[in-house]
Amino acid sequence: MTVVSTVSQSIGRLGLTACLLFSVLQATRAGLAEDYLRDIRPLLAGKCFDCHNPDKRKGDLDLERFKSLTSVNAEGEIWEKLLERVQAYEMPPPKAEGLSYEEFQKLTGFLRQLPATAKTDCHQIASDRSANFYQGYVMSRRLNRAEYLNTVRDLFGGRIDFHLDRLLPADAGGGEGFDTTGSTLFTSSIHLEKYLAVAEQITRLVLPDQSRGQPPELRAARDLILFQQPGWFENPEPKARAVITAFARRAWRRPVTPMETDRLMQLFQRARHRGDGFSGSVRLALQAVLISPHFIFLAEPEPEKKGIRRLADIPLASRLSYFLWSSMPDPQLLALAEAGKLSDTNIYRAQIQRMLKDPKADALGERFALQWLDLERLGGEVKPDPSRYPEFDSALARAMKEEVIQFFNHLVREDRPLLDLIDCRYTFANQRLAQLYDLPGLSGEELHRVELADYRRGGLLGMAAVHAATSYPLRTSPVLRGRWVIESLLGDKIPPPPPGVPTLNEQDARTGRLSLRKQLEQHRQNAECASCHDKMDPLGFGLENFDVLGRWRDQLGGQPVDTRGTLPSGETFDGPAGLKRVLLAQKHKFVRHLARKMTGFAFGRQLNGFDNCVIEEAMKALESQNWRATVLIEMIATSYPFHYRFYPKSTEPEF
């Protein structure tokens, strides 16, 4: 058989296959069109048209105008949102006549068969032409307070706590809710004053005029910085240049040019001329390094050509280290970047795995997890009333937050499934937490992994930090807890209550005249309140076995605690174990929200339409690899937006 005849036969088979596929596609489309006219539009007319017609347009939505499948496909985003609302039992609204089981299955089945709306090219990031998708490109940003403190710690050897956290202003969250968001990391005159004071304080501690009696950790830091020192009659400048250049390279996270070193050496020489010793003269130059924008900012040099450009290896190293460690690159990562080896995919992935095993990766729990779960405020502006709960003090608050931090970091370090965050049979506790949790055999302040006897405590829903942060100072709140589950774990937004809505009667709750559950049932009689409370309250009741401090209770006010919940879908559950089953049934939604939050933390900005590709690709990888924690982190760190940046063209006119 000749090559020509083989190719002809192959083309023929391909043509037949294409014809068959085209026929199937046409038949599917025809079937959907018939289904829409016969079944779906009449169903919508009976359940939706009263509110969503050309006159009322409730929610700015007119469904009556969609006369055919063609018009439906032309505005696919509307129908994708409709599917989300129907699946969440938000349409039809709870107070209206709902869908029967058969109607629900028929409508959602039809909506899932509609063609997906146009997808964004995953190998793009936002630019001038796509501004409608974009909230602003990432500029070189200032280190936030935690990153600054971690960087100073690692710059001086990693063993010293300089106790600087109270000297620097706190940073607000932005973008996806994190203090890594560049648009909120402004620099004020207060910041500059504090950076000057901090630089002088640090360098005087490490390089004092007289080093005798210096504590061991400070002497180790001094030896790290002054790795070369001149003899009595030796010209000090060559060794000073080496010391200052090495320090600036690590502090600025890049090679230092000879011209930059020359400017720093002028400060060294000035101090020498006024009579300072070698360490004192070096100290002045190091202060200049620490107050330089090259240290305080994550600067990504702009290329000569504008537009979308791949990050060079050196700024990529910093982007990676501040994602995983909230700190500077270590010598190994910086050396690889300077050698241009991070462009090698295998080397880059190996660095991710190495860095996740390093103790500095604990910053993911400290910086990401607490902010994602809105638990940072616990012990500060959010805390139980001391007269009712005298057990709560700063040590217990630290232990509560540390349980969350160590649990999350354990998932990363051991590459555990992210679903452990919902349900598992272990946690981390010390003596104080063990007393709350009724766990035997623990003593001291250090937290240890402990196995749990049942499923009511494991996962986030059993942690004291969550219960204390979602309670009022004097009592628990099913509303606050339910809202936390919806917003922090599932990613849905609950709007603020409408103006004029009365609050619950605390006196009735305290005297027992009307239980909290009864009060909330009355509250839901208000139609404006019901749409949100029908979703929040049942979830919160599932956690009522936990008091304000997270202790287990079977009775409240002399009566058994009622932890039953009925969701808007009609599904019922009982207690934290039942609530966990509800959340596990929505595991895709939970993990997708977690993926979005971590992506926003890593990118340092609000996400945009182009970033949806990162989330979708991460979800596919996670589902195929048992939801392992490091899969998500690696997918974010290897994504296109993480490696590329948009550099805007000049606004000056061209001639």
Determine which of 86-95, 114-123, 529-538, 602-611 has the lowest per-residue pLDDT on average. Answer: 114-123
Q: Are residues 51 and 163 in the same domain?
A: no
Contact 324, 356 (CB under 8 A): yes
Please report whether residue 52 resides in a domain.
yes
Mean pLDDT of 350-355: 98
Closest CA to 361 of 314, 318, 401, 412: 412
Closest CA to 598 of 178, 298, 146, 124: 178
Please report whether residue 12 resides in a domain.
yes
Say yes or no to pLDDT of 13 above 80: no
**Domain hosting residue 221, numbered range:** 141-298
DSSP letter for each residue of 404-462: HHHHHHHHHHTT-BGGGGTS-SEEEE-HHHHHHHT--S--SSS-EEEE-SSSSSSSGGG
Q: Are residues 73 and 221 in the same domain?
A: no
> What is the structure's pLDDT at 9?
44
**Residues forming a β-bridge with 361:** none
**Within the chain, what is the greatest distance between any pair of CA atoms?**
99
**Residues forming a β-bridge with 556:** 559
Using only C-alpha atoms, the chain has a radius of gyration, in whole angstroms, of 30
- pLDDT class for 213, splitting at 50, 70, 90? confident
Strands 448-451 and 555-556 turn out to be: unpaired
Residue type, 546: F
As to burial, measured by CB atoms within 10 angstroms (0-12 exposed, 13-18 middle, 19+ buried), residue 3 is exposed
> What is the structure's pLDDT at 502?
61
DSSP structural state of residue 205 = H
Residue type, 515: S
- C-alpha dihedral sign at 452, 457, 462, 465: negative
10, two tokens: 């192959």
**Residues forming a β-bridge with 644:** 310
Which has the higher per-residue pLDDT, 36 or 345?
Answer: 345
Q: Are residues 389 and 341 in the same domain?
A: no
Which has the higher per-residue pLDDT, 186 or 636?
Answer: 636
Three-state SS sequence of 528-583: HHHHHHHHHHHHHHCCCCECCCCCECCEECCEECCCEEECCCCCEEEHHHHHHHHH
Q: Are residues 479 and 524 in the same domain?
A: yes
Which has the higher per-residue pLDDT, 7 or 456?
Answer: 456
pLDDT in tens, 219-262: 999 999 999 999 988 999 999 999 999 999 999 999 999 999 99
Which has the higher per-residue pLDDT, 516 or 187?
Answer: 187
Say yes or no to pLDDT of 154 above 60: yes
Q: Are residues 221 and 337 in the same domain?
A: no
Q: Are residues 261 and 285 in the same domain?
A: yes
> What is the structure's pLDDT at 241?
98
3-state helix, strand, coil in the chain (%, to 5): 55, 5, 40
Mean pLDDT of 626-631: 98
Rounded to whole angstroms, what are the CA distances from 632 to 10, 50, 320, 584, 645? 41, 44, 14, 18, 21
> What is the structure's pLDDT at 16?
40
Mean pLDDT of 529-533: 70
- Measured CA to CA, the distance from residue 573 to residue 542 in angstroms comes to 8
Closest CA to 328 of 171, 179, 202, 154: 154
Please report whether residue 211 resides in a domain.
yes
- Measured CA to CA, the distance from residue 600 to residue 181 in angstroms comes to 8
User: What average pLDDT is seen over the chain?
Assistant: 86
Please report whether residue 186 resides in a domain.
yes
Q: Are residues 324 and 278 in the same domain?
A: no
Contact 23, 34 (CB under 8 A): no
Q: Name the domain boundary from 249, 272, 298.
A: 298
Q: Name the domain boundary from 113, 133, 156.
A: 113
Phi, psi of 277 (to 5 degrees): -75, -175
Domains identified in the chain, total number? 4
Q: Are residues 194 and 49 in the same domain?
A: no
Other beta carbons less than 10 A from residue 394's beta carbon: 10
Please report whether residue 334 resides in a domain.
yes
pLDDT in tens, 281-322: 999 999 999 999 999 999 877 776 777 788 999 999 999 999
- pLDDT class for 594, splitting at 50, 70, 90? very high
pLDDT in tens, 362-392: 999 999 999 999 999 999 999 999 999 999 9
> What is the structure's pLDDT at 312?
93
- pLDDT class for 526, splitting at 50, 70, 90? low
> What is the structure's pLDDT at 113?
81
Q: Are residues 109 and 154 in the same domain?
A: no
Please report whether residue 631 resides in a domain.
no
pLDDT in tens, 418-470: 999 999 999 999 999 999 999 998 999 999 999 998 888 999 999 999 999 99
